[in-house]
């Protein structure tokens, strides 16, 4: 039997190169080796306020992006989280075995709470528990994510182990899969922060749907470090970030890239990187536009049905283990 993977992206804003290089790209590579479930995590997206019409549109846009980057619905299951009610149900159960102190420690919560300061939603606080439910429902062996999700994965493992210990063997304990390169693509306007959909400064992220002029402008205005040399050097995070994006999009080795840019300036790097990115995005955007509405509806309905069958079986077991029974 193939091992299983599960991962997801929130339909909360413009999907960017960080999401692609840190997550989606690896899903495509892994899907033939693993039985794969790729979720559009709209229940996670509503942990911050969303415009309903926009959320619905972004959910469908993200499904198109999954298909366009190369997720093959013949081998992978693509579905929308809110189509499978067991995600929210299992999250409640897991809430009851999670400690406040565990969630208070989460870096993402602390960062988002700091940005929102007043009226921080309970949903943001509880986000990692819902994520644990997403993963454990499918008995995933592996969870391909960017570096930022590592801490959440550790909590998922702890909750699975705790439940198994207290109620009997129920969940598979998943491992994170974090790519060796690209796990943390940084903001173009502040290379100390990760590239993020929710960044107020839109210049920090290259959206997968950005047009060529926008891409050129964003790279042109990207922050650089002091110094002149174009080398992969962790101590110069801005250039390191630009070079990492270049490396992942061209498939060239670091040595080839350093040799290519030897004696050239930052402006050259930025303009070549912009063109490489535009050439990568052009066919991707065409494929996104080519996915028809009917095709999308059919795929999402099939995906939800397949996901539901597995989620229902796990949740039935959870209820049995916990004594959650009613009429027989
Ligand atoms: N900058 C990044 N570099 C590498 N991987 C990244 N991921 C996100 N940002 C980077 C990975 O993308 C997947 C989906 O992320 P998400 O939508 O669930 O939310 P996120 O991690 O919180 O990403 P954003 O873009 O920062 O969204 P907002 O601003 O809405 O919170 C995950 O696997 C993540 O690791």
Structure tokens at 222: 């990207």
Which residue stretches of the chain are H helix? 17-19, 25-30, 42-45, 52-69, 86-95, 100-104, 107-116, 122-137, 150-167, 212-220, 237-250, 254-261, 266-290, 293-322
pTM over 0.85, yes/no: yes
43 within ligand 1 shell (Cβ under 6 A): no
Q: Do the Cβ atoms of 10 and 42 come closer than 8 Å?
A: yes
Residues 284 and 310 in one domain: no
Residues 122 and 20 in one domain: yes
Residues 124 and 227 in one domain: no
How close is the Cα of 328 to the center of ligand 1, in Å?
43
Q: Which atom of ligand 1 is nearest to the CA of 185?
A: 3
Residues 143 and 268 in one domain: no
**Rounded CA gap, 143 and 297, in Å?**
26
Spatial CB neighbours of 77, under 8 Å, sequence gap ≥ 6: 36, 37, 38, 303, 306, 307
CA distances from 170 to 186, 317, 326 (A): 38, 7, 20
225 within ligand 1 shell (Cβ under 6 A): no
Residues 27 and 97 in one domain: yes
Q: What is the pLDDT of residue 199?
A: 85
Residues 263 and 306 in one domain: no
Residues 280 and 303 in one domain: no
Residue 36: inside a domain, yes or no? yes
Residue 195: inside a domain, yes or no? no
Residue 42: inside a domain, yes or no? yes
Residue 9: inside a domain, yes or no? yes
Per the structure, the complete domain to which residue 315 belongs is given by 4-178+293-322
The dihedral through the CA atoms of 193, 199, 201, 204 has a sign that is positive
Q: Do the Cβ atoms of 68 and 288 come closer than 8 Å?
A: yes
CA distances from 279 to 215, 221, 241, 275, 324 (A): 11, 19, 19, 6, 54
Residue 196: inside a domain, yes or no? no
Residues 272 and 138 in one domain: no
Q: Report the mean per-residue pLDDT for the chain.
A: 95
Local confidence pLDDT in tens for the 328 residues of the chain: 899 999 999 999 899 999 999 999 999 999 999 999 999 999 999 999 999 999 999 999 999 999 999 999 999 999 999 999 999 999 999 999 999 999 999 999 988 888 777 788 999 999 999 999 999 999 999 999 888 899 999 999 999 999 999 999 999 999 999 988 878 999 999 999 999 998 888 899 999 999 999 999 999 999 998 888 999 999 999 999 999 999 999 999 999 999 999 999 999 999 999 999 999 999 999 999 999 999 999 999 999 999 999 999 999 999 999 999 887 7
How close is the Cα of 108 to the center of ligand 1, in Å?
11
CATH of the domain at 213: 1.10.240.10
Residue 55: inside a domain, yes or no? yes
Overall size of the chain counted in residues: 328
Q: What is the pLDDT of residue 60?
A: 97
189 within ligand 1 shell (Cβ under 6 A): no
Residues 229 and 282 in one domain: yes
Structure tokens at 113: 């709470």
Residue 187: inside a domain, yes or no? no
Residues 258 and 310 in one domain: no
Which residue among 19, 42, 66, 199 is best mutated to probe the pocket of ligand 1, counting the most ligand atoms within 8 A of its Cβ? 19
Residue 328: inside a domain, yes or no? no
Among 55, 46, 140, 136, residue whose Cα is nearest residue 91? 136
Taking CA atoms only, the protein residue closest to ligand 1 atom 18 is 9
Structural domains in the chain (count): 2
12 within ligand 1 shell (Cβ under 6 A): yes
CATH of the domain at 299: 3.40.50.620
Residues 222 and 281 in one domain: yes
Structure tokens at 197: 């959909």
Residues 13 and 94 in one domain: yes
Q: What is the pLDDT of residue 128?
A: 98
């Amino acid at each position: 039997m193939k091992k299983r993977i599960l991962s997801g992206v929130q339909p909360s804003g413009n999907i960017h190169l960080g999401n692609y290089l840190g997550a989606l790209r690896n899903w495509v590579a892994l899907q033939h080796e693993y039985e794969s479930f790729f979720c559009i995590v709209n229940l996670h997206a509503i942990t911050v306020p969303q415009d309903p019409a926009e959320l619905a549109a972004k959910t469908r846009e993200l499904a198109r992006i999954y298909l366009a980057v190369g997720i093959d619905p013949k081998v992978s299951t693509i579905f929308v989280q809110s189509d499978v009610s067991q995600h929210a149900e299992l999250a409640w159960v897991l809430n009851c075995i999670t400690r406040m102190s565990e969630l208070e420690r989460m870096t993402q919560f602390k960062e988002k709470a700091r940005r929102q300061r007043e009226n921080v939603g309970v949903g943001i606080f509880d986000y990692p528990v819902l994520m644990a439910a997403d993963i454990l429902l499918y008995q995933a062996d592996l969870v391909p994510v960017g570096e930022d999700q590592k801490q959440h994965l550790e909590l998922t493992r702890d909750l699975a182990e705790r439940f198994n210990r207290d109620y009997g063997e129920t969940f598979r304990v998943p491992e994170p899969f974090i790519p060796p390169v690209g796990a943390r693509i940084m903001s173009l306007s502040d290379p100390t922060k990760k590239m993020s959909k929710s960044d107020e400064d839109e210049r920090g992220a290259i959206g997968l749907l950005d047009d060529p002029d926008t891409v050129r402008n964003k790279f042109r205005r990207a922050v650089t470090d002091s110094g002149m040399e174009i080398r992969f050097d962790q101590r110069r995070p801005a250039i390191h970030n630009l070079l990492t994006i270049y490396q992942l999009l061209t498939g060239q080795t670091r040595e080839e890239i350093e040799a290519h840019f030897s004696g050239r300036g930052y402006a050259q790097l930025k303009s070549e990187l912009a063109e490489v990115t535009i050439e990568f995005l052009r066919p991707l955007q065409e494929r996104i536009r080519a996915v028809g509405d009917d095709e999308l509806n059919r795929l999402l309905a099939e995906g939800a049905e397949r996901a539901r069958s597995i989620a229902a079986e796990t949740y039935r077991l959870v209820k049995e283990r916990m004594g959650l029974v009613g009429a027989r």
